Amino acid sequence: MAKKILKCQNCGTYTMKGKCPDCKGKAVNIIPAKFSPEDKYGKYRRAGKQKDLKDKGLL
Ligand SMILES: [Zn+2]
């Protein structure tokens, strides 16, 4: 299981504690990139991969 990574809302420092070690700001959970709703091309990448598998007869 992946460790929980938090990011300081104030200065952007990554930490694993609820409080930023640099500025004592509040650190919040970051969303893993693969689940990012901003990843517009993720669905096309996945579609491409599925097509690859089909082409190879793996699906
Ligand atoms: Zn900070």
Domain residue spans of the chain: 1-30
- 16, 6 Cβ separation under 8 angstroms: yes
CA 13, CA 45: separation in Å to the nearest integer? 30
Question: Whose structure tokens read 């082409």?
Answer: 55
Q: What is the pLDDT of residues 2-56, one digit of tens each?
A: 678 899 999 999 999 999 999 999 999 886 656 556 666 667 777 777 788 888 8
Q: Rounded to the nearest whole angstrom, what is the distance from the C-alpha of residue 45 to the centroid of ligand 1?
A: 34
State the first-to-last Cα distance of the chain, in angstroms, to the nearest integer: 29
The reported pLDDT for the residue numbered 54 is 85
d(CA 3, ligand 1 centre) in Å: 19
Task: Quote the pTM value.
Answer: 0.47
How far, in Å, is the centroid of ligand 1 from the Cα of 26?
A: 7
Dist. CA 48–CA 10, nearest whole Å: 38
Question: 4 C-alpha vs ligand 1 centroid, how far in Å?
Answer: 17
> Other CB atoms closer than 10 Å to residue 8's CB: what's the count?
20
Which pLDDT belongs to residue 22? 95
